[in-house]
Amino acid sequence: MNTKNLSYGRQWIDDDDIAEVAKVLKGDWLTQGPTVAAFERSLADYAGVKHAVTFVNGTAALHGAMAAAGLGPGDRLLTTPMTFAATSNSALYVGAEPVFADIEPGTLCLDPVKAEAKLREVEEAKEGRVRAVAPVSFGGYPFAMEPFRRLSSEHGLVLIEDACHALGGDRGGHKIGFDADMTVLSFHPVKHITTAEGGAVLTRSDEYAHALRLFRSHGITRNPEDFEEAPEGPWHCEMQTLGWNYRLTDLNCALGLSQMRRLDAFVKRRREIAALYRELLADVRGLTLPPAHEGHAYHLFPIQVDAEARGPLFAHLAENDIRLQVHYSPVPLHPYYKKRFGYRWGDFPEAERYYRGAISLPMFPLLEDSDVKRVADCIKTFLGRGS
**C-beta closer to ligand PLP: residue 58 or 98:** 58
Among candidates 300, 327, 324, which has minimal Cα distance to 5?
324
Evaluate whether 52 touches 183 at the Cβ level (below 8 Å). Answer: no
Minimal distance in Å, beta carbon 285 to ligand PLP? Answer: 31
CA distance 11 to 208: 31
**C-beta closer to ligand PLP: residue 62 or 322:** 62
**C-beta closer to ligand PLP: residue 310 or 327:** 327
Q: Please identify which residue in 84, 100, 298, 355 interacts with ligand PLP, judged by CB under 6 A.
A: 84
Q: Please identify which residue in 53, 78, 86, 110 interacts with ligand PLP, judged by CB under 6 A.
A: 86
Q: Please identify which residue in 83, 183, 195, 360 interacts with ligand PLP, judged by CB under 6 A.
A: 83
**C-beta closer to ligand PLP: residue 8 or 382:** 8
Q: Please identify which residue in 42, 44, 47, 58 interacts with ligand PLP, judged by CB under 6 A.
A: 58
Minimal distance in Å, beta carbon 138 to ligand PLP? Answer: 8
Does 165 sit near ligand PLP (CB under 6 A)?
yes
Q: Please identify which residue in 35, 42, 59, 259 interacts with ligand PLP, judged by CB under 6 A.
A: 59
Q: Please identify which residue in 79, 80, 87, 320 interacts with ligand PLP, judged by CB under 6 A.
A: 87
Minimal distance in Å, beta carbon 255 to ligand PLP? Answer: 14
Does 362 sit near ligand PLP (CB under 6 A)?
no
Residue nearest to ligand PLP (CB): 58
Exposed e or buried b for every residue in 36-56, given b needs 16+ CB within 10 A? Answer: bebbbebbbebbebebbbbbb
Among candidates 361, 332, 49, which has minimal Cα distance to 206?
49
Among candidates 269, 313, 305, which has minimal Cα distance to 289?
305
Rg (CA), the chain: 22
CA distance 260 to 338: 39
**C-beta closer to ligand PLP: residue 200 or 378:** 200
Q: Order of strands across the sheet with 358-361? A: 287-288, 301-305, 358-361
Evaluate whether 62 touches 53 at the Cβ level (below 8 Å). Answer: no
Q: Please identify which residue in 35, 54, 57, 360 interacts with ligand PLP, judged by CB under 6 A.
A: 57
**C-beta closer to ligand PLP: residue 281 or 332:** 332
Site for ligand PLP in 92-151 (CB under 6 A): 136
**C-beta closer to ligand PLP: residue 248 or 284:** 248
Residues in the chain: 387
Q: Which stretch binds ligand PLP (CB under 6 A): 17-25, 160-168, 234-242, 342-350?
A: 160-168
Q: Order of strands across the sheet with 75-79? A: 51-55, 199-203, 182-186, 158-162, 129-134, 75-79, 97-100
Considering CB under 6 A, how many residues would be counted as binding ligand PLP? 14
Minimal distance in Å, beta carbon 168 to ligand PLP? Answer: 14
Does 216 sit near ligand PLP (CB under 6 A)?
no
Minimal distance in Å, beta carbon 73 to ligand PLP? Answer: 23
**C-beta closer to ligand PLP: residue 17 or 161:** 161
**How far lies 352's CA from each of 195, 330, 331, 332, 333, in Å?**
33, 7, 10, 11, 9
Site for ligand PLP in 272-311 (CB under 6 A): none
Does 199 sit near ligand PLP (CB under 6 A)?
yes
**C-beta closer to ligand PLP: residue 57 or 360:** 57
**C-beta closer to ligand PLP: residue 355 or 382:** 355
CB atoms near residue 339 (< 10 Å): 9
Residues that bind ligand PLP (CB under 6 A): 57-59, 83-84, 86-87, 136, 162, 164-165, 186, 188, 199
